[in-house]
Structure 1
């Protein structure tokens, strides 16, 4: 791989510099770097340099990205949405491989270089969706680092045999184990969580559990998750996606749970939806809990909304948390950059010497301006390769 010299870019403080990329990593940054023969040279023209974005929670296998418009007429409950999706997938010919690749490529064009996706594993589809997303990961392996969560969308107890399929998924290449609402979906939180944590322990993987349960029910499930995290020594290997209960229980109970989460290094994943109470990003960070930002589903049977633009998601996180100050908007950006990378366990991240060279150039005055304006990505570099210009893949 030829050396890549990117001239005249700005850091968060407005300092202009040149950056040298060698063998896919950041080799040097200095006010001026003289180019050698054979180097590729790009003129940053004073653009703001940001680290490659991190999508911490999406569902690549579900998306209709690029397909004909899906007319959503589904009832509002979670079981209704699950069954509606199952029926549609069975009759539509939906191809998780083709669709996941289309959306992953759109993420890459918008500057996302690391991504965690949940993939449905159930007794109807088996591992079909997983095989499609594994193919997408393989296709993009030199341009995007992708983590796959084996996700039991219908729960682990309601459909006998799901636990066996989850184990098969982990052996087939899934990186983490998912879960969902142990009380509301599975109906037996103790049994469901014992099964999930047992699987995770046997396979040596982390957990990322969807927890939509509200109020005291959600707090009860979260308490059980934290108990098992401590008992099995899984500190730093568990994330709670959504965690809506942290947004609607009383402050004292919330802070007690957050203190335990911080001690156990359990991360919170937020998509900052407008329709429900959400965990306070400020409260999580004050307690020392890592916050990961993500989109959730994007244009699927669940929702017509969503975009593969992580600057847009950072803006929505900021809006949902009433972030107005520039330093607060930088926190929103952190949820889809450094904090997300840390929470997901993506190594060698950030614009420092020796790290993997993942960066995005935008015409913005400051990071806060980038979040609000969401400018076209002038240049996207992933693992030292130029992968997109002006919002389009190259």
Structure 2
């Protein structure tokens, strides 16, 4: 893999608004698109055949280190509770010698082939495995560094305060290259929402890192934890640096308006995988209030769930189904959740189809964005950071 991409011209493609354009790419960046653009000197020319041009997709929340992607079927016989799943996974990974490096690489490459060029992955940090899983995912990030922009979240899947030593391990993970500090259910897992949140925010401030917290806690318990979290965002000045993932409580409360107003004012982002079996934050209401809400797969083919594929167009479709999005303009919202909104929520810079943006481009044979979300056609071409990384769903030798 080389870090320098050859100049490129994508010709005969259509923008989402239907405009025919050619897109020049130099040094991994988009130059001014237009209908009659001359190829940059020395450029490779790719004829898009009138295909729809989309920006590279963004996976806002997954767990690359856990996946069994491409491996033998895992027989799931785990109990129904969150703690059952946590303990089962920890025991199985230890007994099976689960290779987080190999599995994260396999899943990351599958994401790339399907058009995902930027990705945020949570990686388990606990007192059984230490930084072992992180080390594997760091290897994957390094291997794909020229073609996949990956953020790593140091995530205490087994809890933090209830497992002494985890807090220090999280600090070591941030020092070793994790980009974001994770957290998990301060009330129901750690049993001390005040102490857990205090420790999380102190650690984030110490290392100068943003926070992405899993908040599965339901109803009034979740609302109580969320209020405490928002208090700490305001007190520590971390506006714009916190994501609340899942936030099931916002879909369960009879009237979440006061919480949503604070979330909007403090510029806290929300992540949803749009699960069919749990309450979800109100998508359109959040957007109307200026809250960044975006999408992700969560786990894919792991001990938690047999479901999921590394295709963000499919996740956009599932978001559309969960939120009853049927109109074409509503389906464009579903796509925004796995594109621009996800880039904004995760803090991926220079995103889009404009001049100066990083050249992350996907071609599909579809009439419109809505058509692409519903039909999920094979990716005709994927360009990441200016490199052609996939054709017709298959990776090139650059990935």
TM bucket (normalised to shorter chain) is: over 0.9
Superimposed CA distance per residue, residues 76-95 of structure 1 (whole angstroms, 9 cap, x where no aligned partner): 10000000001100111210
Change (3 A) 1:266 1:74: same
Regions of 4+ moved over 3 Å: none
Aligned length: 392
Q: Counterparts of 1:1-394 in structure 2 under 5 Å?
A: 1-35=5-39, 38-251=42-255, 254-394=256-396
TM-score under structure 1 length normalisation: 0.99
Within 2, Cα distance between the matches of 1:258 and 1:155? 27
- Contact persistence 1:255–1:287 (CA under 8 A): no
Superposed CA offset, 1:170-223 (max 9, x none): 000000100010111011100000000000011110000000001000000000
CA RMSD, 1 decimal: 0.8
* Secondary structure of the corresponding residue to residue 201 of structure 2: helix
1: CA distance between counterparts of 2:41 and 2:332?
38
Q: Is the 8 A contact 1:377 1:391 kept in 2?
A: yes
Q: How big is the shift at 1:34? A: 2.8
Q: Partner of 2:33: helix, strand, or coil?
A: strand
| Shift of residue 2, structure 1, vs aligned partner | 2.4
Secondary structure at the residue paired with 1:28? coil
Contact map agreement 2:7 2:41 (CA 8 A) in 1: no
- Distance in 1 (alpha carbons) for counterparts of 2:41 and 2:291: 47
Alpha carbons 1:314, 1:371 under 8 Å: kept: yes
Structure 1: stretches of 5+ with no match in the other structure: none
Runs of 5+ in structure 2 lacking a partner?
none
Q: SS at the partner of 1:106?
A: helix
Query: What is the rounded CA distance, in whole Å, between the counterparts of 1:35 and 1:212 in structure 2?
Result: 50
Other structure's SS at 2:24 match: strand
Question: Is the contact between residue 8 and residue 18 of structure 1 (CA under 8 Å) also seen in structure 2?
Answer: yes
The CA deviation at 1:37 is 5.7
